[in-house]
Structure 1
Amino acid sequence: MLAWIGWQRLACFGRKNEHPKGAALSETKDNLRDNLWPELSHWQKRSEFLMSQFTWGKERISSNDHPEDWFLSARSFAKDADEKAIGNSLSGLHGSFPFILLDETGDQPPAVIKKASQIFTGNPVDALLAAAGNPTSIAGLLYEICTHSREQWKIITITADPDDPKRTPRVSVEHAREEIRLNGRDNPWVMATILGLFPPCGFNALVGAEDIEAAFKRHYRPDQYDFAAKIIGVDVAREGNDRSTFCPRQGLVAFKPREFRNARSNVLGTSLAQAEDKWSADGVIVDGTGGYGSGVIDFGSNMGRTWFDCQFAGKSPDPKFFNMRAYILWQFAEWIKNGGALPYIPQLLKEAPAITYTYSGDKILMKPKEIIKKEIGVSPDYFDGYATTFAYPIQPKPRIPSNIHVGSAGDYDPVARAEELMKRSSGRGDYNPFNERR
């Protein structure tokens, strides 16, 4: 629809020496390049008139007769841009027939509309703003349009509700009913992508501080988790002031992590091998995104270790998620909400609420790590480290259950054993599994 509007404005508006000028903006430059922009090309190729009168380029569509002032250009701004930067991205559109196409507005900042509305200044003959997006956030531009600014817009809501006779056929009735059956009508994902409704306040926070606090307070006996695989998740620092973290988890219990600063790959690799041996870990998963963890994995390989490489930008095993990072962060959040126990790490109270999600099409997408760091001043190294333990299924090695004592009766000290079990209960920040050999 946005592509049709774009071509209609370019082809049907203007008068002598006064031509239409347009801009197209999406939530990211990549999104615009991969979606709306090729869609414009697709429809141009279906029209002999459009092919003869306009030239499509990677960042600009222009009239062959007046390319300098008859155009539609691709615009973008950084995700952390302020109002001035947003305004600069939409500059140069004053005239008699300006128009702006806003795609994926669900999570665009509301400040965009203030700057985009400047095309109505200067008494234009005919100006237009056209916006589209999924109702994924109550803090984004689309919500602003559909609520506070509603009287200024003509709003069309598209729903795939299987019980609505005017539903779109682009989502099958069977799929819509199945999602509602599995998740309920009040599920944020169902509301945003099936029903065309805005979810309730705060839905896009992955996990709240109250969930982290609750996880700090949980305690489990070793026999309640010792049967599960021991997994070490490794988040390797991307910059000098970030931490590299080793985050151990066994079933419903996460244990105290180890952290390193400014450590080279050989130091991390050696320390990781020692941690793996001391805890008799069943699997080690390293965040190898961007090559930062590749050196650690290669170092381990040279020592005969088989450590899994988790590429955050890689494909998710679940098609609901945009990439592997979205998948593992979601799994970790669900683990926390469903009874997971965390050691007391105050920084998690800062990291967790800053991790929010949105949608790219119908896929769940997490806020970029670099944006989170800029917002809270630290990289979410602990959250990412523990989340990495959910990347791949790890099978536990055969082991003796923790409630069975091996040795002569005279060697067994029940008091010492009780103290050990208490110390190993999750929520006690003083237990570090890497300090003992089992």
Structure 2
Amino acid sequence: MEAIEIPYTPRYPHVHEVLERTRFVVLVAHRRFGKTVLAVNHLLKAALLCRRERGSFAYVGPFRNQAKAVAWDYLKAYAAPLPGIQINESELSIVLPGGARLRIFGADNPDALRGLYFDGIVLDEVADMKPDVWESIIQPALADRGGRALFIGTPKGVNLFSQLYFRAAELQAAGDPDWAALSFPVTATNALPPAEVERLRREQSDNVFRQEFLCDFSASTDNVLITLDEVDAAMRRPADPEAAAAWPLVIGVDVARFGDDATVFFRRRGLTAFPPNILRKFSNVDVAHRLMACIEEYRPACVCIDQGQGTGVIDLVRALVRNPETVIVEVPFGSRALKPERFFNRRAEMWTSIRDWLRAGGRLPKNDALRAELSTPVYDYDAAGRLRLEAKDAIKERLRHSTDLADALALTFAVPVHPLDAFPPAPRRPRRYDPFAPDM
């Protein structure tokens, strides 16, 4: 058989070496790196060398039209010199001389991918894809033939792409031969002239440049409410028990009844937040009894409970609470803010309070899920100029789960909290802590 040559000169031959020996590769690269050309040619070579009957390969973008615009012309151009190829423009597919087929798909139509098998696949701009496309559709499609996957993209905060990259890096460091994580910031390549890089650095915001050209997952978009840097700094701060003791203990309770969501009890005392209690698949009665035990153990001044799923818990706890110093506060996330001229609703107000608390030196327990939840939501302003937080459903779509931990922490900011020395000394001190006490 005559040798078949693809008219492509690799700019990054060492990357292709990793791709050929590793089953799953997550490639993070700066804009204009040449990810698409690299991926198309890797896929084309794999398809040409495939010796299996009816080899199947795919290039998947977030949207079919986007994938067509980005990759289809490249695929046809590099495949054009090959003898006997069959191009189908309506299907966006090419059948190669050995019988293998390459197709373009969009993750916006996951049903088009269901029931297929793949020997190799490229997922482009993974950050813009719904997690289920990889987890529920493509992973099974690779399983029966031991297919390979290449994930390519540029950071866009915390999402499926960041999770895949850090997971791949962790597995690679542990010696797993199936996974590799590659990162190429603009400082590590010659893809752009140095003068152009400096122009971009000057003219773009620091967050945008770090994200788009330095491949920094911790860089946030300009309208993210709480940045990854702020969360990471809070998780590195050492505990200060003496300072915490000067404040009353507050517990935030975000209630979830069965399903995939979790019920969370989050304790906070001043600038210190303690590791949360997480309950899954508990009934309201069970949650109420667990919360009562928590109240008995920690003797909080105030417990703020989400009204949404927590009304049953609130009624039970109020009926059962035996500590007269604990106030039970019912908090509707969508209700009017305490400062309605500044915030669209109570939820936006509470989350902004988390941000301000972090900037004042707040300390967080180390928790990867909490880290992702806090640093994901973005914000905008309504017509009245009030800060409005991104909808919970939109956040859940990117994270793959609800912001249960972060919402429980937010509930500890539902009412004003004052240091203990703000109250008059005994015996004039109120018997019960008043969360709505005026500033003193």
TM-score of the superposed pair, with normalisation by structure 1? 0.44
TM-score w.r.t. the length of structure 2 is 0.44
